[in-house]
Amino acid sequence: MVQPTSGHSQNLTFHPYNIMLCLLLAGLSFLFLALTLSYAYIRVTMQVAPVKMPWLFLVNTLVLLTSSFAMIKAKQCYLADKTRAYQKSLWYTILLSLLFMAMQIVAWAWLFRVNSIGWNTSATAGFLYILSFTHLAHVIAGLPFLFHFYYTARKRMVDPVTVLVYFSDPEKRLRLRLLTIYWHFLDILWVFLALFLGINALV
């Protein structure tokens, strides 16, 4: 595979996409930090009972971690010029992300019906919905980019020449790296939220 020159790599390091992703991840970090601190503050000051976290949230943690592993495989296959394996890894990431979304909806339905937990039940219940829904919204926001990568790979990888051109594009490599970082960030964020909610349910 054609490797980019050091000068071009330096330019990609300060590419606007890199800066935009850094700002996005910083903003999301502060947002969820503020929400979790607010949750803890309300629990302490108002003496509000915690909300039991649905067990499906724990299962979803494994689903999301598996999707992150599939994304790692996609990047590895891209760097190794493995066309079919690259496409399959992207498709597995999409399927696992859709499974995560479906199971989140089931978990919310379980909260509503089995435990009779709604928006008006308590402040902590509202935070549980806000935290999980805000995270899910950013998973949904990343799906169009995954579909775009998968569609482009299926459309352009039709013969050895187009495969070579696809794998030799440094900007496409940059976008895949940024998407991988974004997906890993969402996984780490969800693990943090699951641990936070789980510990709060026990305290």
Work out the percent of the chain whose per-residue pLDDT is above 70: 87
Structure tokens at 190: 């969800």
More confident residue, 190 or 171: 190
Helices (H), the chain: 6-13, 16-46, 55-79, 83-113, 123-156, 160-167, 170-202
Find out whether 142 and 181 touch, Cβ atoms under 8 Å.
no
Query: 54 burial class (0-12, 13-18, 19+ CB within 10 angstroms)?
Result: buried
Q: Count other C-beta atoms under 10 Å from residue 73's C-beta.
A: 18
| Residue 157, pLDDT score | 77
CA–CA distances in Å: residue 115 to residues 51, 70, 86, 147: 10, 34, 43, 36
- In this structure, what are the phi and psi dihedrals at residue 82, rounded to the nearest 5 degrees? -95, 95
Find out whether 47 and 124 touch, Cβ atoms under 8 Å.
no
| Residue 5, pLDDT score | 46
DSSP string, 39-70: HHHHHHHHTPPPPPPPHHHHHHHHHHHHHHHH
List domains and CATH numbers for the chain. Answer: 6-202 (1.20.120.80)
Does position 78 have pLDDT exceeding 60, yes or no?
Answer: yes
CA–CA distances in Å: residue 138 to residues 43, 131, 134: 26, 11, 7
87-107 pLDDT per residue, tens: 999 999 999 999 999 999 888
What pTM does this model have? 0.83
